[in-house]
Structures are given as C-alpha cells and as structure tokens.
Structure 1
C-alpha cells in the first residue's frame, strides 16, 4: 500500500497527537492570563519578548492543527494552529514568522524518531509568546517542561475532530517518553 493510501485509510498516534498537542497548547496559553504582557511589535525586532498575544479558542486551535497535519505534519501543524490565528488577530511579528519552516519536526525530526514534533512545536510557541529563559522569562521554560511531561504521561489522543478524515477507531496510548 502506498504512503498516500495509508494516510487516507488510517490514523497514526502521531496524527491524532497533533490535535491533542494544539489543544494542550491552547489550554495552557489560555491559562497564562497575567503572565503574558502586551508587547508592541510594530516593525521591531522579533527577538523582543514577550510577543503580543490574544486568547485563542482551544477547540478551534485543535481543529486547525488537525487539518494542518495533512499539509505540514506534527510540529508544523501545532505551530501553524497558533500562528495562523495570531496573524489575523495581531499581525506582526506573527505575519513575518516562517511557520512552515518547521515542517522538519515531522516524524521526530525529519523522520529520525527523536523528540515528537507536537510538543516541540508547542514549546516553540510557548517561547515565542512568553519569551525564552535566556531572555529572563522563566515561565516559558516551565511551561515547556510541563508540555513534555503532559505528552509523556497522558493517554493520547484526547482530541476528537469535528470532521474526521478517517473512520478508523483511534486507540489511546501513553508514550512514557517525549520521543516520536
């Protein structure tokens, strides 16, 4: 069976984790409240944190991630599910952010089966919005650690798409590691 036919007839754990990863990212970012400070990013440096943020609907974010998986796969789908919406709601610096460049996160980093692209993509988003630890934003580092723990310890997937692309019953599993 060709890879294209496999994608049309079955859903892997990886595919369904995309929606779950985006949902988890949306929920975590939705809880940030006072941690996210407003930043003006009008033509300024993209290395100035925190980036501006407006609350996103976790369900919509998960649906976008699920559908984006079929285009840019794991990490790219998680990143695009947030960046697409913030481009519309905020504009810069998200408009200039090369979200599709993260397609390499698929398959545990270009198919190597290392760190799963879903939590890696969620960690990239957390560091963009909150700022990296090296810029003084320790909360982003802690959220990234929480994302890795959630991914490793949670029976996934938990996300159920409104319009699934396949009818296969999805089995949940716990990875016990952050690997793809």
Structure 2
C-alpha cells in the first residue's frame, strides 16, 4: 500500500458515535493530553501548515476529526484528554466519545499517543497507555517537542519515560514539529500499521 501523506483532505467532524463514517479503510487515531502539540504533529506529518487548526488554548478539539490520506488511510484527531477547564459533563462526553470510538472501531489499526518529552510521565498518559494495552489496542508512543532539548537531554528523558511506561525504545519515537525530526520514521510506522490491516 502506497500511502501519500502529503495528499490529504478533511472528511468530517463527528460529535456522535452513530454518525461515524463507514469503515472502508484503515484508521489511525491521535491521542494526547490537551495542548501537547497533537494538531502540530498531524500538520507536520502531512506537510501542511493549517490542515488541523492549532490553538494556544487547550480543549479546542471537541469532536473526532477525520482526514483522508491518498492510498487508503484515515487519520483521526481525537479530543485532548485531561483538560480541567471544561465542565464535568463536557469532559465526560469527550471521554465517552474517545473510549467508545477506540473500543468499537474495527478499522482502527493504531493509536498514536503523544507525550511531551520535557516532563515526567503524567498520570493521564499512563492511564491511556495502560487502558489501550488492557483492551488489546495497538499503539505507538511519540515523544514530541524534542527540539526543546539537547540530544543528551532527549536520550535521558526518553529513557526515563520508557522506564515509567515499561516500554522498549522500539515501541516509541522522538518527534519535533519544528524541525521535522521523526516525521519520516512516523510515516513509515503508520504505513506499516495500515498495511497490517489488509
């Protein structure tokens, strides 16, 4: 399968699981805490500046946003988790939307979990990874904002996060939307994941 990541188009914003598009192609979802750089990562992945709207305000994405990539793949931008300033009802609705989609979607071949490399592992990130693992959902960890650290600091922080998540280095990659670090590797891994769905 030849995935053309730079040929991408918006499909739909889904606020209700009953309105999900047909499961015609493999899907890759992007999950992360609010304001972790999810939109920037997707824009960098597909080589577009504003395909996914970025915001300095966390909690901007409130729906499942589907994008079609040429070659037979959907990218799905999930609402950020753990944003405290939204009311409880809204947060619960988001969680139901995210978990309902991930659990029920047979077309979903990988969840990219985006974690800021600069910080210690947050409880919400640990819970997301543990939840995916316990439900048998394939995932790939991406440590983003790598450009903010020196190479030595990157290695040190990545090793600490690996240990905290109990994963091997092969199960994650380092990424920067500023420098493009990790973009080709991420494209390769996602294309492989999509190919495994055939």
TM-score by length of 2: 0.25
Higher helix fraction (1 or 2): 1
